[in-house]
Amino acid sequence: MIPDSDNPREACGVFGVFGPGEDVARLTFYGLYALQHRGQESAGIATNDGSGNFTLRTGMGLVSQVFDEEDLAFLRGDIAIGHTRYSTAGGSLACNAQPIVVNDRETGDEIALAHNGNLTNAAVLREDLEAQGVEFQSNADSEIIAHLLARAPGATWEERFHYVMRRCEGAYSLVIMTKDHLFGVRDPLGVRPLCIGRMGNGWVIASESCALEHLGVAMEREVRPGEVIQVDADGLRHFSPVAPAPVHAACTFEYIYFARPDSRLSGRLLYPVREEMGAQLAREHGVDGDIVIGVPDSATPAAIGYARAAGIPYREGFVKNRYVGRTFIQPDQRIREAGVSLKFNVLSDVVRGKRVIVVDDSIVRGTTTPRVIGLLRRAGATEVHMRITAPPIVSPCFFGVDMATKSELIAANKSVEEIGEHIGADSLGYLSLDGLVAAIGQPENELCNACFTGKYPSNVQPHMDQIDLRRQREPALAAAESLNRAGRP
């Protein structure tokens, strides 16, 4: 495979629209297009024509590869939900593409669901549902939530969501479509983002505010942790089916890396937040240099902030090939050795003879950063100083981010000095947790920093062995799926 970046893998993107008289499939397509950065493995849209007839289209690949005009003409209705996926729980398999559609046990009506996050007690819930006779069509934990809702007791939706949310542990931001309703649901910890916007006589729910702005939809607010948004012909109502969590745990990496810089989290535009991360990094780890460059695109605002605070010129040092994505075409040896240079090309005239300060957002396994530094040295940089806007990642994530196992995390096994030697940098500096929290501007007890501290917002210990075992199995499942798609035995 062509090497991917060493950044944490994206979460997923969810989008929903209740829009009588609107082309909801086209709106969802463009909403997913704006959320493409959150997942590039599969995409899907489900629509409801108002009489309970659901239409579903899913496929592997980018949003623009999965859908065409014929698909959008086929996907008719007044309600739609969509999903763009990077696999965390469940491998990169066609059967795991979302939305997922199941049948309500009581009424027989269909329920469609799209999920961003990860359940920490998925194995226990799945075993329980299988014992009740549920036959799963995928190995994704998202299907577990769908079946729980389809089988939930209760005379009202509030009672049914109380049952589901009381049983689910971990992270989940959901959009759900029934015959008459669009729902948006956020877990009580508030790990993954979710927001709502008003569109004429309809409503839109999306992972990020940037997806609303692309459609000219004004953002009303973020969905609160533990809240359910219900939209139907009578308008919008909201309720909280379970008791408030004692703490909230918004994922810090949404601020550092995942969300687009033109999105808003907790009321703040992310671009200046990331600039402040760079500025804090300059205050904590200043070094003499001639230019500051960022690893595009996610670290660019932080590099600008670092340069401004340090009084050192910011320059574009890399050109990024934005069309290098996942591919099933195996590279030959020369391309394999080129590695990261397929994704980045150095502006050699900019860095030659310079002491270069490179700002990036994270080092996970330590596989890509040495190649980035090697490119700069071959281009003539005399010194390369790495500065990272996240603290060292020492623990894996169990809430919807693929961040490797503990044995694979370089900071869990090496000191900062040893990592600096491993990547070949003249110096290495990580932003402190205090500096990161200050830049974000949220209380530390409102954030999940477990990947930096090992202190999780809920008890994941009982489920860690099952999660690690599932992660070990998924590469083999994904490889088998890719061979099947290629038509080989």
Residues involved in catalysis: 12
Contacts 24+ apart (CB under 8 A), 143-146: 143/100, 143/102, 144/119, 145/113, 145/115, 145/119, 145/172, 145/174, 146/100, 146/101, 146/102, 146/111, 146/113
d(CA 184, CA 238): 9
Residue 226: both structure tokens together: 């533990």
Residues in contact with 378: Cβ distance below 8 Å, sequence separation at least 6, in sequence order? 346
Q: Secondary structure of 291-348 in the HEC alphabet? A: EEEECCCCCHHHHHHHHHHHCCCECCCEEECCCCCCCCCCCCHHHHHHHHHHCEEECH
Phi, psi of 378 (to 5 degrees): -65, -25
Dist. CA 458–CA 454, nearest whole Å: 11
d(CA 363, CA 27): 36
Q: b/e for 463-485, b at 16 or more Cβ within 10 A?
A: beebbeebbeebeebbeebeeee
Edge-to-edge strand ranges of the sheet holding 383-388 = 291-294, 355-360, 383-388, 427-430
H-type alpha helices, 399-463: 410-413, 416-423, 433-440, 450-453
Helix axes 369-378, 416-423, angle to 10 degrees: 50
Residues 6+ apart with CB under 8 A from 317: 291, 293, 294, 346, 347, 350, 351, 356, 358, 376
Query: Taking Cα atoms as reference points, which of 39, 75, 6, 431 lies closest to residue 256?
Result: 431
Looking up tokens 């994941």 gives 460
As a whole number of angstroms, the distance between CA 311 and CA 426 comes to: 20
Instruction: Indicate the angle between helix axes 141-151 and 157-167, nearest 10 degrees.
Output: 140
410 and 365 Cβ atoms separated by less than 8 Å: yes
d(CA 47, CA 79): 6
CB atoms within 10 A of CB 333: 7
